[in-house]
Amino acid sequence: MYFPRIYTYKITFEETPYYYYGVHKEKIYGEEYWGSPYTNKWCWDFYTPKKQILEVFDCTSEGWLEANLIEDRLIRPFYNTDKWCLNENCGGAISLEILRETGIRNGKKQGRINHENRIGFFALSKEEKSVIGKKSGTKNYQEGIGLAAIPKERRREISKKAVEKNKLNKVGIFSLTKEQMSENGRKNGLNHKQNKTGFFKMSLEEKREICKKTNKQKWKCLETGYITTSGPLTIYQKSRGIDTSKRIRIL
């Protein structure tokens, strides 16, 4: 019979050098657990994580504290010095008793409470969230961390693999029917029109300029070799049952 464990672990990713150290106490033996990142959760969603259990400890308060000390020693040499380290803090071990009392493991429940009561991040307006996102993105770009640390060509390759994976597993947009996608597109269009955002925020001159640039672009169908502009090529490919992603820009 197998009993729950306490162990230190390391998360790595197939497509990138990012890594993450952690410590975990199981509720049942062998349960699936992939860390508890917050700020850097995007990495788990975007890439393919792999977990390596480093050391196992007794499932006791002493074992928990010992495991946290080991975790601290693993993280400390790289914390805030190595851009590939995803750990957001270092040290600060909490006893099992306090952990149970405070209910830190009930993060999802707290998230629902915050959402319902509109506190914390959920108290912010869309504009405030957008500003925070832009600042975070600018900071990452300037410091060369996160996605900004990866060359454009590599990002395109990773993005393509992610799309193929989602398409294969029918998740995200690929889980929707054509009717649902059409309805979502219609609603998004109405929202942009009502809020005067996106295309509807532009002046007539700006719209004309975009149309001119788009009409100058030439795209080639990778199956038939047919060359035309983006819109007509989409119609051409759909009418022949060709995947519209099978194209390349040549001008």
Flag whether pLDDT at 129 surpasses 70. no
* Best CA proximity match to 224, nearest among 210, 239, 208: 239
* Best CA proximity match to 53, nearest among 33, 28, 73: 33
What rounded mean pLDDT belongs to the chain? 78
DSSP string of 155-178, one letter each residue: HHHHHHHHHHHHHHHT-GGGGS-H
Spatial separation of the C-alpha atoms in residues 39 and 35, rounded to whole Å:
12
* Best CA proximity match to 149, nearest among 12, 33, 15: 15
57-79 pLDDT tens trace: 888 888 888 888 888 888 888 88
Give the pLDDT band of residue 30 (cuts 50, 70, 90): confident
Spatial separation of the C-alpha atoms in residues 51 and 31, rounded to whole Å:
13
Contact between 243 and 237 (Cβ < 8 Å): yes
Flag whether pLDDT at 40 surpasses 70. yes
Flag whether pLDDT at 12 surpasses 90. yes
185-202 pLDDT tens trace: 788 778 777 888 777 788
If one compares 141 and 63, the residue with the highest pLDDT of the two is 63
Spatial separation of the C-alpha atoms in residues 26 and 245, rounded to whole Å:
44
Segments making up each domain of the chain, as ranges: 6-103, 106-143, 217-251
Residue type, 199: F
Contact between 246 and 222 (Cβ < 8 Å): yes
Spatial separation of the C-alpha atoms in residues 205 and 99, rounded to whole Å:
60
Contact between 11 and 34 (Cβ < 8 Å): yes
* Best CA proximity match to 56, nearest among 2, 98, 103: 2
Give the pLDDT band of residue 111 (cuts 50, 70, 90): low
Task: Read off the pTM.
Answer: 0.41
